[in-house]
Amino acid sequence: MKRLSLSILFALLLLLLLAACDDEQADEDTTPPPVPTLAQRATTGEAAADETGATATKLVISEVLVGAPGNNNLEFIELYNPTTQAVDLRGWTLLYQPPNQEPIELFRWSRRADIPGLGHYLLAREGEPIGALGDDFFTTGLFKRGGLQLLNRDGEVVDRVGWDEAEADFFSGSPVAVAEDGQSYERKPGGPGGNGQDTQDNAADFSAATPTPQNSGDTPAPLPEGFLEISLTNPATVTPGTEFAFTVTISNESGQDATDLLVAVPIHAEFTVVDAPAGADIKADRVEYTIAELANGASASQTITIATPFTYFSTTLPGYYVEANGLRSYGPVGQIALEGGSLPIASARGLDGATVTVEGV
């Protein structure tokens, strides 16, 4: 009888233990959380990276100008890459939160656009003389109060900056205090130290400054060792339907010889490559070629011949670089315009809405 009682007691204890295990498993939710939409990310502020530490390890918004005395349209937005590797912005998005309105898509990168390691990328208000060539342009005006979110190609919020009384989720920590008219909001430290301070508090990380817009062709900050120089020479204007040449020059003032150099020059979609350096790889959107060796203090130049279409337009020329020993060096942003000459009637029909001057009747 005693053995039977012990057996019953043991069975009851075993049942109680199994029930407790079932309760724990029932309380554990194994259903994966839903993936937020782009609009939800703008509201919830989902971050793509660790938001701790004083030094940025990801792309950040580094400077914003929201107008100047006598010209409210004098605006730009600058990004900074605190890493040593270039980042292709294709597929990234910049959201803007105007006061008392829904967030809007201020700019979306639809084609390749490199932001150099330790370098900048400049979005300028279209048609405004901000003191530097923009890598690209936006058309929506910025208000004295607002905020920005930078989203990667997966729709994750990588950085956010707000000024004055910015809307929730469009700033980190506290918004930047109002700057005087004509001053920009610049991320610290600035200058040759770059713009990599990131304590996740906009009020602490930014200060009012004299606007200093920097594009992808400006000198890296801080300047890395072994940096090569590259420049692109081209005519300021070209007649439609003719050919012209890009001259690419590489200079080595790094203090050491460089070997196995890779040179890449993006080509506008409207241009056709006619001739390139021997052995060059002519891709759909760029020309790449190599230089076996470039001694310290030496330079090398090559030309790329381009045929232009029968149309009128102007464009900037960013994103060309030379790479050696794992370090990419980007050149100053150039500019070119197709204008003058005459167009065939068939080509002119495609200029609907454009301003055309007709000479000779």
DSSP 81-92: --SSS-EE-TT-
Spatial contact of 163 and 205, defined as CB atoms under 8 Å apart? no
Q: How far is CA 181 from CA 21, 131, 177, 279, 348, in A?
A: 65, 17, 12, 53, 44
Half-sphere exposure of 201 (CA within 13 A, CB side): 5
| Domains and their CATH numbers in the chain | 41-209 (2.60.40.1260), 229-350 (2.60.40.290)
Mapping DSSP to helix (H, G, I), strand (E, B) and coil, where does residue 27 land? helix
Q: What pLDDT, on the 0 to 100 scale, is given for residue 165?
A: 87
Residues 151-160: tens digit of each pLDDT: 999 999 999 9
Tokens standing for residue 101: 């309105």
For residue range 179-215, list pLDDT tens digits in order: 999 999 999 999 999 999 999 999 999 999 999 999 9
**Per-residue pLDDT tens digits for 109-165:** 999 999 999 999 999 999 999 999 999 999 999 999 999 999 999 999 999 999 998
Range of weakest confidence among 22-26, 166-170, 235-239? 22-26
pLDDT digits over 262-316, tens only?
Answer: 999 999 999 999 999 999 999 999 999 999 999 999 999 999 999 999 999 999 9
Tell me how far the alpha carbon of residue 159 is from its chain's centroid: 12
The pLDDT assigned to 350 comes to 57
**What confidence score (pLDDT) does residue 167 get?**
87
Q: What is the dihedral of CA 128, 133, 135, 138, to 10 degrees?
A: 0
How far, in Å, CA of 258 to CA of 156, rounded? 38
Side chain identity, residue 272: T
- Is cis: bond before 222, omega within 30 of 0? yes
